[in-house]
Amino acid sequence: MDSRMEPPSARIEDGVFLGFVLIVSIAFALVIEPFFAAILWGVIAAILFAPVNQALLGIMPRRRNSSAALTLLLIIALVIVPAIILSIALAQEATIFAAKVQSGEINFARMFAQFQASLPGWAAAFLERLGITNFATVREMLSEGIASSFRTVATQALQIGQSAFSFLMALGVMLYLTFFLLRDGPRLAAMVDRAAPMRTAHRRALINQFVIVTRATIKGSIVVAIVQGLIGGIIFWALGLPGALLWGVLMGCFSLIPAVGTGLVWVPVAIYLFVTGAWVSGLILAFCGMFVIGMVDNILRPVLVGRDTRIPDYVVLITTLGGIDLFGFNGIVIGPVIAALFIATWNIVTKMRSGADGLEGPLTEENVSA
């Protein structure tokens, strides 16, 4: 029946039903909000390891439970267990480093004084104009910016340590959800495909873009971060610098931020080595930072991600920083994914306005600039 011929009561009922759908959806989102991070990483794990699950299904067809369980055990062995071991080792390393700072073995005030004494006259005058003439001033400035961020991270880490039960519950939810997403993923994707109130071409383009960008973001960011952090930690260890594991993990974390990345760690350390007279170590660290650690991103990311799925670097930088600010660590993935969906959606709008039927194929920089 033509909607224009429907009685007013039917239109009112449809409106009430749509309102009810909206209310129920919002209520459901509020209910699952405490496990948002667990659900997000469960979806990501299922997307990343779906090819492995499909390969196992090819070996043992009609045994979806066994395939999903074996894939889940692989996730635990390759991701969860190493992450827990690394977290324990990192906590021990951070404790040792903090003890050295507290005992005066690592004296930041003395380091700053040595750095200031080694500066040429024009640089010292520039610092004086900025009001940076003693370590107390620098410490106060840092406490308003970077230091406060580190304190926030440390506070969150402490809360995680104090709320072990909540952490284990979230981990259990993530693994439990991952199992069912691996087992029933294609069927659930088909249900979402049928339920989404969009044209078929638009709906499938957005779902395809979500999967592509999520997988590309993880492979292109997390894997590169692991490699850069590992290389950076080995270099620090080879140079005899204290806290090599701590610095390596920090470089891995900062490498998730495009453009600046690992330079936030190795550049200040290299400057410190130059100031303290360790010229050879400083030169080695600067060379390795620029031409070894820095080149990993340029070499590995195109191989892991593929050039056709890359978002422009300036978009990745802005959305990653914005995502971290809004969603914390989860924003590393959420920010670029939202950016990719934003670009894909507006590409669809452009195609519609030009008379085409939506967006097909992967996201490219040519599509972005079109």
**pLDDT tens digits, one per residue of 1-44:** 455 566 666 677 777 888 888 899 899 889 988 888 888 888 88
Q: What is the dihedral of CA 213, 219, 224, 227, to 10 degrees?
A: 170
Tokens encoding 368? 């972005």
User: What does 175-244 look like in DSSP terms, one character per residue?
Assistant: HHHHHHHHHHHHHHHHHHHHHS-S-HHHHHHHHHHHHHHHHHHIIIIIIHHHHHHHHHHHHHHHTT-S-H
Count other C-beta atoms under 10 Å from residue 268's C-beta: 12
Dihedral of CA 257/75/46/56: which sign? Answer: positive
Compute the C-alpha angle 275/276/279, nearest 5°.
Answer: 80
Task: Identify the H or E element spanning 87.
Answer: helix 81-103
Task: Identify the H or E element spanning 63.
Answer: none
Please give the pLDDT value at position 177.
92
Please give the pLDDT value at position 23.
92
| Nearest of 251, 269, 270 to residue 261 by alpha carbon | 251
**What residue segments make up the domains of the chain, in order of their start?**
34-195, 199-352
Counting as low any pLDDT under 70, the low residues of the chain are: 1-10, 97, 100-102, 104-165, 258-260, 301-311, 313, 355-370
Please give the pLDDT value at position 82.
84
Please give the pLDDT value at position 70.
93
| Nearest of 225, 290, 223 to residue 252 by alpha carbon | 225
Please give the pLDDT value at position 302.
66
**Mean pLDDT, the chain, whole residue set:** 75
Please give the pLDDT value at position 21.
85
Instruction: Report pLDDT digits (tens) over 237-253.
Output: 888 887 778 788 888 87
Please give the pLDDT value at position 359.
44
* 347 dihedral zone (left: phi>0; alpha: psi -120 to 50; beta): alpha
Please give the pLDDT value at position 110.
66
